[in-house]
Structure formats: C-alpha cells, structure tokens
A and B are shown apart, each in its own frame.
Chain A
Amino acid sequence: MSTALAGRAATRTPYRGAGRAGPAAVLPVIVAGASAVVGLWWSGTPRVVGLGDWLTGAGRITGLLAAYGIAVLLALMARIPALERGVGSDRLARWHSMGGRYVVGLAVAHTLLIIWGYAVADGTDVASETVTLNLSYPDVLSATVAVLLLVGIGVVSARAVRPRLRYETWFHLHFYTYLAAWLAFGHQLSTGSEFVGSPLARATWYALYFGVAAVLVWYRFLAPVRQAVRHRLRVDRVEPEAPGIVSVYLSGRDLDRLKAEPGQFFRWRFLTRDLWWSANPYSLSAVPRPGELRITVKDLGDQSGRLARLRPGTRVIAEGPSGALTPGRPRRDRKVLLIAGGVGITPVRALFEAIPAATGDLTLLYRARTPADLVFREELEEIARRRGAALHYCVGPRGRVGDPFAPDVLAGLVPELARHEVYLCGPAGMTGAAADALRTAGIPNHRIHRESFEF
C-alpha cells in the first residue's frame, strides 16, 4: 500500500474513520422509537369499544406516529456529521423525502379519524364536531393550520408540481415545515390523552422535540457560523475549466482542521445578494491543501451559473464536510476502481489523487457524453502517470457507445475486477446501472460505494 504521495498532493488527510452511523445502526433506532410511541398509546388505552373508540384509537396512533415522524424527519436533515458520513447525504435526503410523504399522509389520516371518531362518540355530525374541536379544545386550531401547511408543502413537493417552481420558491415554502411542527406541538400535549395523565410521557416528548431542535440549531446554524469565523473562508479566484465549467478556489485559515476527506462535499453559502439564502452542495475536486480548497461547478442553469461571476474576497460559510464517498479505513492489498459520470468526476478526482492504492491497483473510468464535457484532463493524466494508475475515458452518447458498464466490458478493462473496491459517482441512472453490473461481476455490495447528486 502506498504510504506517501510525492509532489503536488502535499497534504494527506488522516483517514481517521471518524464516527459514522450507517443505515444498519440508524434504522433500528428509528423503528424502536416508533414502537415506543405506539407503546405509549397501548399503555394508555384500556379498552376499545364501539365504532367511536376504534376511530379515535386509530386517530391517536396515527397522530402519535406523525408527530414522532416529524421529529425524525427534522433530525435527518439536521446535518449531523455521523449521519452524513454513515448514511450519506443523498440517502438521507431520499429518506426524508419518502418519509415526508408518509408523515403528511399520517397527519391527514389522524385529523380525519379523530374528527370522525369524536363525532360518533358524541352523537353529532362531522361538521359540527370539527367546529367544536377547533373552538373548544386548546391548541387544536393551530394544529389545523399545521396540517393544512403540511398538505400544502406536500403538494408543492410532489413530483408533478415541484419542477414547475423555481428552486428558490420551493426552498422557501419548504421552510414552513418548521412552522407546522411548532404549531402542531401544542395540541399534542394539551389534548393528547396519552400525555395528559403522565408526566413521564410529557417529559419524554419535550425531550424528543427539544433534542431535535437543539441538534438543528447547532449543526445547521451555530456550527457553520463558528466554522466560518474560525476558518475565514473567502473566494480566492475563479478559473474556467471547460465551457460552462468553472473551478472556484477558496482560501482560509486552518483548513486542515475542517477534517475534510477526499470525496466529500460541503454545502457552500456564498454571501452575495443572490446566493446567500441557500447553501448548495459541491464536492471538493482536489485534496484540501493548507490554505486552499477547490470546488468545480458546472453551469446547470440555476444558481450554479452565478458562481462563475463570484468576485474574489467574497465571504463563504461552509457547512460540512459531508458525504459517505470516502476512502474509509485503509486496507492492505486493496484494488480500487473509480467510476465517474458527468459532473460526478468532481469528488472522484479528489479520490483519484488521494485514495491509498499501490501502483497498478488504481483504475479510473470516466464517462462523459462529449469530449467537451471531460474536465481535468491534464490533472487526471498527471495523477495517473504519477501513481501508476489506469485511466480510461468513455465518451459518446449511449446510442453509439452502447452500455459502457456491461459486465464483460468492465471485466475486460479492469483485470481482477472481482477483487476491487469500487467508488461510483454520477447521475443516479448511471450509477445504478453500473452498480448492477458490478454486482453481476461478483463484487459484493459492501465494496460498492455510491453517491449521486440528484437530491
């Protein structure tokens, strides 16, 4: 295993394998929490008699799970480093999006079941029961606003609607979920029958929500600000790499203390008038050097195009580092295969430079649609020469080239394919196909690392 890289790659970030919590650790915790929440209902309900009780009981269970689900969803998006490293930001975002749909459904089901159940128990009709609930029960009116907000956000996030909105609009609307969570919290404790009589249950609920709130405030607000103050990141210069593709160089202090590993990304908040309001993820395209970081961005139309016009000296807040596409613990005799598609070359380029692998044990496959899309050609070739690594380009539209990731093609390009550890980055479709092919070729799942940027 190579232990030193001469020349340009001066800094090697230590592969500390810092704490990471993978899906195998996180999912059981979430499920255990949900079971505990259902247990809360179970222990507080002695009997279920009649239609009214069935409906109200179902309403209570769905309500409890929805409220728990909101806390979990917020926690997933809190940018907890252990989660970002272990589960991966893209997977977290997918979980959040699927979970979000389910939770909105639970909230709506809860609302309807409770109204119906109470109406049956009181012998009134659904309409007047709705009025009674909203006007005479504490905090129910704000909970109604909350559920309507959730439905609205759900609609806005639907696959059919979201592409029609500008990203900024969708982004701002999505923030109303915080408001919905806040509005709904009150009625959970003041009307939830499981909480009314049990101080322990109330304390646990407060702990859950305050815990999530604290984590959110820390990791999404305080930590980045502290990081910005400590490292004083600024734009140093912007250099074009290829048509529509620029590299932004950032300077700062003590950048090694950011502990960024190759393959990771940050969420960059450039403090200009039109970019300050959101933090977008871009991978480091080179190993961090003392006092300098580099990202490479392709103009995809929205915000990415504005980066080309960044002025030197612009202040930057960087949230992170995030991303699971990292070398992990060093292993002996490890052969590494890197596959990059399109803009996925960015983190792969950093991995190509820094991932430990002996001469002849490192291969990079770079897939792009046109030669103009190939970025870092000289850098990649230089690294390949220096490290004794193999570098293959696969250029051309699919129709002409065929499937570049057919198992036999891969096996032909990469000797001893089955012994490789593979890192994939690119559009989800490409990485999915490649992963399938690799599995067919005999590479076990735990040696395939994927990240795609469509979140």
Chain B
Amino acid sequence: MRRAIFAVLVTAVGLVLLLSFKPHELTAVASPPSAVSHAPAPQHSAGEPPSSGRQDTAVPPANGTWTGPGATAGTTRGDKVATGDIADTRWGPVQVELVLSGGRMTGIRVLRAPDSTHRDLAISSEALPMLNDEALAAQSAQIDAVSGATYTSEGYARSLQSALDRAGL
C-alpha cells in the first residue's frame, strides 16, 4: 500500500513538473491590429451580433503572417491590397487581407482571428494556412462563389468571398 501511494505521488509530481516547464502564454498566430477599426466593436453576447450596415474598414497592416507567392508584397510597387470585411463569428471576429498583383491574387494575410483560447489558436494556426492555399486554388479554378458549412471556415470563406468581391475578381 505504501508503495502504491508512493507511485501515485511520484507520478503526480512528475506530471506537474513536465507540464509546468511548457510556456503558459498565448502567442497569437495573427496578432490583432493595434489600431481599432472603424467598424462597431463586435459584441460577444449570447447570440449573434445585430446587423451592422456596410463596413468600410481601413485597418492598418498588422503583424500577421504572409503566405502565397506574393508574400513579400507591400514592398513591390503596383500591388493592390484589398481588405476584407470583418466577419463576426461565434468565436470572435475574423478578417483577411488580399494582395493583388496585376489583377491576380498573390497573397493572403490574416488580420484578425479568434485567439482567446488555446483551442482557437490551434484551429487558427491550422486552418488559416490551409485556407490561404484554398483561396489561391479557388481563384485558379475560376470560381464565382464558395459553398460550405464549417463555421470558422465560413468566417474565412465569407471574408474571402468579400475580399474577392471587393477586388472585383
């Protein structure tokens, strides 16, 4: 019996030690822009936020990660940057920005993504890079619209949809 208690204690202490050596802060994949957008702040009430007319958000570029062949965009002249609307999803606001070069989409950056829990970040860090590829693939297949069901992807797809809309592709 004493051995059993000893084993349990050692195991518990070991687990706590192992877990405590890992970092405990969240570092967002896409950190939210420092300046607040002109859009009304998203309301995280129990339900969906009330409708908010057309949003013209001019958000200064934030420290998101670039992907796509135009990843160095912003430094190349002649590149147009289209900012998608902020889409409010159940887990938080989502917004992407497109880089267009000669009318073609060459890069995507995520400006805002849900990041309040570790699960959000895990999903965001997986879904966003995938979505970037997906968006680029969609463009190359001459797609007019995208139908889908996944909620967070809905936010992106919608935002992608809106960025596409904005760019008039």
Contacts and interface: CB of A to CB of B under 8 A. Distances in A.
Contacts, number: 51
B24 interface: yes
B19 interface: yes
B118 A53 contact: yes
Interface residues of B, number: 17
Interface in A94-128: 98, 101-102, 105-106, 109, 121-122
A47 B118 contact: yes
Nearest to A56: B118
Nearest to A62: B15
A38 interface: yes
A47 B15 contact: no
Contacts of A57: 18-19, 22
A121 B19 CA distance: 17
Interface stretch (B4-12, B48-56, B69-77, B158-166): B4-12
A57 B15 CA distance: 9
Nearest to B118: A49
Given A53-B118, A101-B4, A106-B11, A47 B25 contact: yes
Contact of B25 (A42, A45, A49, A98): A49
20 contacts: A38-B18, A47-B22, A47-B23, A47-B26, A47-B118, A48-B19, A49-B24, A49-B25, A49-B26, A50-B117, A52-B118, A52-B119, A57-B18, A98-B3, A105-B7, A105-B8, A105-B11, A109-B11, A121-B119, A122-B119
Dominant SS at the A interface? helix
Contacts of B23: 46-48
Given A105-B11, A121-B118, 8 more contacts: A47-B22, A47-B27, A49-B25, A54-B19, A57-B22, A102-B7, A105-B7, A109-B11
Given A53-B118, A121-B117, A58 B15 contact: yes
A358 interface: no
Given A50-B118, A121-B119, A61 B8 contact: no
Nearest to A48: B22
A41 B22 CA distance: 11
Nearest to A49: B118
Contacts of A53: 118
Contacts of B8: 105
Interface of B: 3-4, 7-8, 11, 15, 18-19, 22-27, 117-119
A61 B19 CA distance: 9
A56 to B, nearest CB: 9
Contacts of B118: 47, 49-50, 52-53, 121
Contacts of B15: 58, 61-62
A52 B116 CA distance: 13
Contact of B18 (A42, A50, A98, A122): A42
Interface string A18-47: 000000000000000000001001100111
A44 to B, nearest CB: 11
A58 B117 CA distance: 18
A66 to B, nearest CB: 11
B22 A45 contact: yes
A132 to B, nearest CB: 14
Interface in A317-349: none
A429 B94 CA distance: 71
Contacts of A54: 19
8 smallest CB-CB distances across A and B, nearest first, come from: A48-B22, A49-B118, A58-B15, A47-B23, A57-B19, A48-B19, A121-B119, A53-B118
B36 to A, nearest CB: 25
A62 B7 CA distance: 13
Contacts of B22: 45-48, 57
Contacts of B19: 48, 54, 57-58, 61
A8 to B, nearest CB: 47
